[in-house]
Amino acid sequence: MNNMPPASQQRKLPAPWRLLRTIIRIYGTGVLVFGFVYSAIESACRIGQPFLLDQLILYFDSQRNVASTDEPATFGAAYGYAVGIVLTVLAPLAIFHCYQLYLLQVGMKIRIGCCAMIYRKVAHVTWNILCIYTLCMNNAGDGLSGTVINLMANDVSRFDYAVIFFHDLWKGPVELVIVAVLVYREIGPAGLIGIGFLLLFIPIQAWLGKQSARFRMKAALATDERVRLTNEIVHGIQVIKMYVWEKPFEQMARKLRTKEIKALRGSAIIKSALFALRIVPKVSIFLTLVAYVYFGNALTARRVYMLISFFSVIHHSMVEFWPLAVTSAAEGWISLKRIQQFLLEENVRDHGMQTESRCGDVPPYVELKNVHTTWPNSNFSLQDASFRVEATAHRTAAVIGPIGAGKSTLLNLVIGEQSETHGTITVNGTVSYCSQKPWLFEGTVQQNVIFVDTYDETRYQTVVKICALEHDIKTWPHGDQTMVGERGYSLSGGQKARINLARALYRRADIYLLDDPLAAVDAHIANVIFEQAIRDFLQDKLCMLVTHQLKYIHQVEHIIVLEDGKITSQGHYSKELSEWCTSHQLSKDQKAPMDKILECLEKDEPQMRRTDTQEQTLPAERNVKEGQEDGTVEFKVYIDFLKSVNSIPIVAFTALLMIGYQAASSGTDYFVFIW
């Protein structure tokens, strides 16, 4: 299996300006205005604190040093400075939670909006794109689900942090410039040494943020591959078990997981490096004080505490939050790229297909003129396909040919799932499509037949009858209210095919495209479906039927023969196509061996139906909801979590590091106090 990422993801993704402009147009004004007001208030309060602290310390110094020549501050002024310090702390807190709540709401709206656009895009994306995302035409939906799950579970969650930390991108450098000017005015050139040392690490932080974005992209692509492979394993677990392929697939999953962990480890190392840079402001204070003393100045408690307050502002904005803002913005930028790249993929109706609404005087028809198309990552191509079929002259048109000739591709062109590289396609009327591979969702049989249409009792009962589902519904324990299970796992292949066909026939349309609906049913049921459903029920409609059951082709009005991606002949059976059937030994007279096989299958059908009936009890049991425990988490759970590390020394060493970090952080203030 090819584990390389899809071709559409290997190329360098363009900048997501279109999606970003849309987000800014909707939410930009509120975020910018509210964020600017809060940031201005917070910065003013934090930068104003050192001046208030300076005046308060001067008051206490004047009380201890009566010989001071400076005019001492009054007792009321001292209280004013103290109240000012308290207010500079309370003022940001008064609006902080409202500000954070607003940003979280905006992030949530962006996340939900992107999820809605991704979900809508999935419903309109072409089959070509499914294949590009999977490099496998047979399991395109599984590969797409891996990418979509990753986009909706991981990528959109980055917007929450990007919105929260957005204003820290500009607030940190602005506060750094302001504090540098104030420190220079306070202690002169000595203050620039510490500031310069701090500035040396800003390019390093920016570079680490860029590397974090690179690792984020690698991790996202690796997660896409892993989820895609996991979906394929889950959906094909029966085949894997039958052929004892557990070990090879386990190795493949481990290889992809190792690749993903490697990218996640790189991102974690970068975050650890950014966290380790928190020591830089402490070193900057040390260098500033040493340089100040070296220049022949005397240290006082007022200057020390004022410098510590100034550098705490820089520590808060440039060391704690600015790296988070850089990494969050970089990861959000990558997520925007991935989401925009997916949203700009080709839609079903984006290419040059002409779809006309049904006119009263013009019968439904499908017309292809010199249509060419190719499959991605494949040598197959459909070349020069030209035909016109309409409801009046060709109410049933059979598309026949060997396996791999392009019959399903032809129907995909009509419904727009496959894009043409040359030629024009014209469809007059609404279309209902029955896929070759049955698709069922987890619901009742009736829900799978009705789908999104309104319930019509008469039409529903008619469709159930002509699709030979009446007997099955009677044998199921809950009739047509029986749950089919996920992907119809509790049904046989024939039952799934007939429900899939019933859904297509229940929909009121002008044109019905049926992709080999007779392949998964026995001969008797195939006769019922062909005579009652295709010929009688659709007598006033246009039906394009792909089939390998050539015994029916003499009853249709038009036949299209496909070989190696080319229409070799078309017309009525009695005229042009009898020679082709004879040359391929597919004449209706040579159906005896197949009839014998089908007769054997008919004999085994009651036993198969009994097995199907026994399986129907499973979905009812699945309706039982899983229970969950209430209350606090037991201490045993924490112990089991620590034991899962399988290394007591690592747990102990990590605990010691955490204790040492807290002791070092608190010890700094303690030793400054003693000094």
Higher-pLDDT residue of 84 and 674 is 84
Distance, in Å, from the CA atom of 244 to the CA atom of 242, rounded to the nearest integer, reads: 6
Q: Is 455 left (phi over 0), alpha (psi -120 to 50) or beta?
A: beta
Token pair recorded at residue 332: 């959000």
Token pair recorded at residue 656: 């010691």
Degrees, nearest 5: CA angle 150-133-139: 100
Buried b (16+ CB within 10 A) or exposed e, 216-249: bbbbbbbbbbbbbbbbbbebeeeebeeeeeeeeb
Tell me the three state secondary structure of residue 192: helix
Mean pLDDT of the 321-339 span: 86
- Res. 610: pLDDT tops 80: no
- Res. 567: pLDDT tops 60: yes
Confidence of residue 514 (pLDDT cuts 50, 70, 90): very high
pLDDT at 360: 57
Task: Note the CATH architecture for domain 353-586.
Answer: 3-Layer(aba) Sandwich (3.40)
- Residues 342 and 86: beta-carbon distance below 8 Å: no
pLDDT, tens digit (0-9, with 9 covering 90-100), for 215-227: 888 888 888 888 8
Residue 194 is which amino acid?
G
Tell me the three state secondary structure of residue 247: helix
Distance, in Å, from the CA atom of 332 to the CA atom of 20, rounded to the nearest integer, reads: 10
Among residues 545, 290, 529, the alpha carbon closest in space to that of 399 is found at 545
pLDDT at 146: 64
- Residues 264 and 20: beta-carbon distance below 8 Å: no
Distance, in Å, from the CA atom of 415 to the CA atom of 452, rounded to the nearest integer, reads: 18
- Res. 289: pLDDT tops 80: yes
Among residues 146, 152, 140, the alpha carbon closest in space to that of 112 is found at 152
**Parallel, antiparallel or unpaired: strands 431-434 and 511-515:** parallel
Distance, in Å, from the CA atom of 192 to the CA atom of 183, rounded to the nearest integer, reads: 8
pLDDT, tens digit (0-9, with 9 covering 90-100), for 63-81: 766 555 556 667 778 888 8
307, 309, 313, 316 alpha-carbon torsion, rounded to 10°: 120
Distance, in Å, from the CA atom of 294 to the CA atom of 292, rounded to the nearest integer, reads: 5
pTM: 0.64
Among residues 5, 231, 259, the alpha carbon closest in space to that of 132 is found at 5
pLDDT at 375: 75
**88: Cβ–Cβ under 8 A, 6 or more apart, which residues?**
45, 46, 48, 49, 52
Other CB atoms within a 10 A radius of the CB of residue 114 amount to 22
Token pair recorded at residue 243: 């052929």
- Residues 558 and 571: beta-carbon distance below 8 Å: yes
Higher-pLDDT residue of 76 and 270 is 270
- Residues 255 and 3: beta-carbon distance below 8 Å: yes
**Parallel, antiparallel or unpaired: strands 542-546 and 431-434:** unpaired
The chain-wide mean pLDDT, for the chain, equals 79
The domain limits of the chain are 16-344, 353-586, 645-674
**Parallel, antiparallel or unpaired: strands 422-428 and 381-390:** unpaired
**What is the DSSP secondary structure assignment for residue 568, as one 8-state letter?**
E
- Residues 399 and 546: beta-carbon distance below 8 Å: yes
Distance, in Å, from the CA atom of 497 to the CA atom of 500, rounded to the nearest integer, reads: 5
The residue written with tokens 């196509």 in the block is 577
The residue written with tokens 């049921």 in the block is 525
- Residues 355 and 132: beta-carbon distance below 8 Å: no
Determine which helix (DSSP H) or strand (DSSP E) holds 265, and give its type and residue range.
Answer: helix 246-276
pLDDT at 2: 42
Please give the sequence-ordered ranges of beta strands (E in DSSP) within 422-479, or none if there are none.
Answer: 422-428, 431-434
Token pair recorded at residue 150: 């990753």
pLDDT, tens digit (0-9, with 9 covering 90-100), for 241-267: 888 888 999 999 999 999 999 988 988
- Residues 321 and 43: beta-carbon distance below 8 Å: no
pLDDT, tens digit (0-9, with 9 covering 90-100), for 427-470: 888 899 998 888 888 888 899 999 888 988 999 999 999 998 88
pLDDT, tens digit (0-9, with 9 covering 90-100), for 381-405: 888 888 888 888 778 888 988 888 8
Q: What are phi and psi of 368, to 5 degrees?
A: -120, 135
Determine which helix (DSSP H) or strand (DSSP E) holds 75, and give its type and residue range.
Answer: helix 75-124
**From the CA atom positions of the chain, what is the Rg in Å?**
36
- Res. 570: pLDDT tops 60: yes
Token pair recorded at residue 190: 């000595």
Mean pLDDT of the 507-519 span: 90
- Residues 382 and 372: beta-carbon distance below 8 Å: yes
- DSSP letters, 357-425, are PPPSSSPPEEEEEEEEEE-TTSS-EEEEEEEEEETTT-SEEEEE-STTSSHHHHHHHHHTSS--SEEEE
Token pair recorded at residue 645: 């590390």
Distance, in Å, from the CA atom of 149 to the CA atom of 486, rounded to the nearest integer, reads: 18
- What string of H, E and C letters represents the secondary structure of 2-70? CCCCCHHHHCCCCCCHHHHHHHHHHHHHHHHHHHHHHHHHHHHHHHHHHHHHHHHHHHHHHHHCCCCCC
Distance, in Å, from the CA atom of 133 to the CA atom of 151, rounded to the nearest integer, reads: 13
pLDDT, tens digit (0-9, with 9 covering 90-100), for 127-167: 666 555 544 434 444 445 567 777 888 888 888 888 999 99
pLDDT, tens digit (0-9, with 9 covering 90-100), for 31-69: 999 999 999 998 888 888 888 887 887 777 777 665 555
16-344 maps to which CATH number?
A: 1.20.1560.10
- Residues 513 and 432: beta-carbon distance below 8 Å: yes
